[in-house]
A and B are shown apart, each in its own frame.
Chain A
Amino acid sequence: MSVAPRTPPAKRDWSWRSQAFRGLLYQIIAVVIIGGVAWWLATNTAENMRVRGIKSGFDFLTQPAGFDIGESLSKFDSNDPYWKAFLIGVSNTLRVAILGIILTTILGTLIGVGRFSRNGLVRGLCQAYVELFRNVPVLLQLLMWYLLFTEFLPDVTEAKRIGDIYLSKGGITFPKPIWETGHLFGVAGLLAGCVVAWFYRRWARSKFEATGQVRSMFWVPVAIVFALGVLGWLVGGAPSQFAVPAKGEFAVEGGGALTPEFMAVLLGLTLYTAAFVAEVVRSGISSVARGQSEAAQALGLSKGQEMQQVLLPQALRVIIPPMTNQFLNLTKNSSLAVAIGYPDVVSISNTALNQTGRAVECIALIMLVYLTTSLLTSFFMNWYNAKSAIKER
């Protein structure tokens, strides 16, 4: 007796119920719905603009802006066109963001490392700092710093004087070196110093790997850079003219100046983001296996060497991606400057929006600026991340 072998049902390549077809169907539905909504919004917008007589287009960018900007890197007066105002806004945003990122990295790393201190008082203070600053909205912090700078400092006419630095409601005024060609030599010296220091480090590293002799990898290069900078400055004739601010009748004149708006934005953003950076650094360091620090101690490395040579390089791999996010957050949070009147790109677009009524264009410009900055920063940080990642086969 033989049983006829059961053949499996023939497999069809295609059916209405196949996964491939359903997937295609879902996608078509999604595209139709999203496209339809977009089309509906666009026609509504066009219709509304026609009814309300709103003109569209970016032609307003070449018209005179008609407002002054309190602080800018280059001269701006109210006859200059809108596009120039926008550029100044962008430069102000970038200025506060770049300075903020540098300061926040330093402060945040110090606080994050401080949480591993042997001293209980330092540990406690660092933790208190983190808890306090990250649990209060950044907008509120900016407003508070601005209030402190504008209400609790003396009037401009009675500016507080510390050496040649004046502090008042008008901001901080400080002596500024007057630019001369001699300074160019100094800058050239610094650059040459960087190159020499790079070669020194390469030499020191190859020596270390060949013989095991430890040479300073930080202080000596720093000394080289400074020494060459000073040398260049001396060669250039040692120009040491300072524009010293002096108290005038109504204002402190001369020298460099920072407005209270700038200081409030910078300080607020730095202190707020530093709390998050500290947490990122702390979690990065604590992610390094415990055995690493024990092994470092067994080798007789000092606490500082252990942190610098063993823990931080490994922690860096964990730290970089969230750190990128914090930098981006800082840049995006700089848009809150609009609340205290620092002329960043949002603030200037807002003014332009109120004057011209081109809501779509102005908001699109803001978004474009931030999107570009965000994407560029993430590209750079991804590159750096790939560089510092573990080299695998």
Chain B
Amino acid sequence: MAETIIFQSLPARPAPVNTEGLVPWVKNNLFANWQSTLTTLIVGGLLLFYIPQFINWAVLTATTVPNADACRAEGVGACWGVITEKYRLIIFGRYPFEEQWRPLVATILMVALLVMSCTRMFWKKWLVAVWIVVLAAFFILMYGGMFGLTEVQTDRWGGLPLTIMLATLSIVLCFPIAICVALGRRSNLPAIRTFCTIYVELIRGVPLISVLFMASFMFPLFMPAGVTIDVLIRVLVGVTLFAAAYMAEVIRGGLQAMPKGQAEAAASLGLSYWQTQFKIILPQALAMVVPGIMNNFIGLFKDTSLVYIVSLYELTGSLGLALNSDADWRPYKLEGYLFIVAIYFAFCFAMSRYSLWIEKQVNKSKLR
């Protein structure tokens, strides 16, 4: 007789381990094994020790009263009073005090234009016209001398408007030069190739500072007697030529990565050299090197701080201008530095985030 088989259910299997959510993340990323746990404890301990101290200094015990005596009191942390007192001098430099609404409006216009140019919605033909109008408005507002605005010489321009103006103009101007030089370096014509190679290697071999020295000390010697060119323009030309060499190398990288078949296909369709370059090669090559181009733009923005060494008071220079001569506030220069660090960081960080976005946009054709 067969044994009766009694059905016995197996014990239930454990539920799958949760891999989503906070607790598993912490377990995997902070306490995965003993090394990781130890690291977490040490690093976390240091952070827990220093961050509250910093917050205490920067926020809790800080003062924003524009009074140096209040900062010298016992137990006061960061003295942001130096910013509330001097912010106009730091942001606008030596621009006449009553007229400072003009650089403010000009800067807002310029930043609005830049934001607009970065937005896909506005990538239309008429954007060029907007650029011309805004640039004209910028210079009229800054320089004055018409529409009842008093004239303000360029040696009194300074601070953030100068930084943004230098960065924007040199970015815009260096790009076409860079494209020509990059094409020239890959040209079949030996003379043109040699000139472009020498230009790029020469500029890339020397520091920006020596180019700026050249623009400010040597350039007046180059001009015929009686011709003087404003130092602002000389420096702008120097920065642009410098940036163009670096940009040309980035673009050349893109050109080199283009398969030869593209140019051959264009030639067999009967396109001329310039048609081939502008309609076939460059659009693809530039899309390939967008990260490099954006990196160069960010570098250029940061490099504008160097004009301070040839006595143009952009953001870095105007901070020195505001604090170096004032014995009361000089001890609180660190707070001033942190203020402009925040400004530079905001611009550069925004540009680097934008770079990620634009990279995705231009490479959409490659996604499937």
Contact = CB atoms under 8 A, between A and B. Distances in A.
Given A135-B348, A359-B218, A363-B210, A119 B40 contact: yes
Contacts of A386: none
A144 B334 CA distance: 7
Interface stretch (A43-51, A79-87, A235-243): A43-51
Interface in B1-54: 25, 29-30, 32, 36, 39-40, 43-44, 47
A120 B341 contact: no
Nearest to A132: B345
Contacts of A332: 206-208
A291 interface: no
Contacts of B220: 48
Contacts of B195: 30, 34
A125 B43 contact: yes
Interface in B190-231: 190-192, 195, 202, 204-210, 213-214, 217-218, 220-225
Interface in A299-347: 332-333, 335-336, 338-339, 346
A338 B43 CA distance: 37
Interface residues of B, number: 53
Contacts of B191: 27, 30-31
B240 interface: no
State the 10 A-B residue pairs at the shortest beta-carbon distance, nearest first. A120-B29, A135-B348, A27-B191, A332-B207, A335-B207, A137-B305, A137-B302, A371-B205, A374-B205, A359-B217
A220 interface: no
Interface string B336-352: 01001100110011001
A339 B192 contact: no
Interface string A338-378: 11000000100010010000011001001100110011000
B225 A47 contact: yes
B303 interface: yes
B354 interface: no
B306 interface: yes
A217 interface: no
B349 A48 contact: no
The SS class assigned to the A binding surface is helix
Interface of A: 23, 26-27, 30-31, 34, 41, 44-45, 47-49, 51, 117-123, 125, 131-132, 134-140, 143-144, 147-148, 151-152, 332-333, 335-336, 338-339, 346, 350, 353, 359-360, 363, 366-367, 370-371, 374-375
Contacts of A339: 308-309
B221 A139 contact: no
B331 interface: yes
B210 A122 contact: no
Nearest to A346: B209
Contacts of A132: 345
A335 B210 contact: yes
A375 B206 CA distance: 10
Contacts of A121: 29-30, 39-40, 43-44, 47
Nearest to B223: A44
B170 interface: no
A116 to B, nearest CB: 13
Interface string B317-360: 00000000000000101100100110011001100100000000
A244 B214 CA distance: 46
Given A44-B221, A135-B344, A359-B218, A338 B316 contact: no
B192 A27 contact: yes
B146 interface: no
A335 B211 CA distance: 12
10 contacts: A49-B221, A119-B32, A121-B47, A125-B43, A135-B352, A137-B306, A147-B334, A335-B207, A367-B210, A374-B205
Contacts of B223: 44, 48
Contacts of B192: 26-27, 30
Contacts of A375: 205
B209 A335 contact: yes
A147 B337 contact: yes
B134 to A, nearest CB: 25
Contacts of B202: 371
B269 interface: no
A359 B29 contact: no
A363 B217 contact: yes
Given A119-B30, A119-B36, A140 B349 contact: no
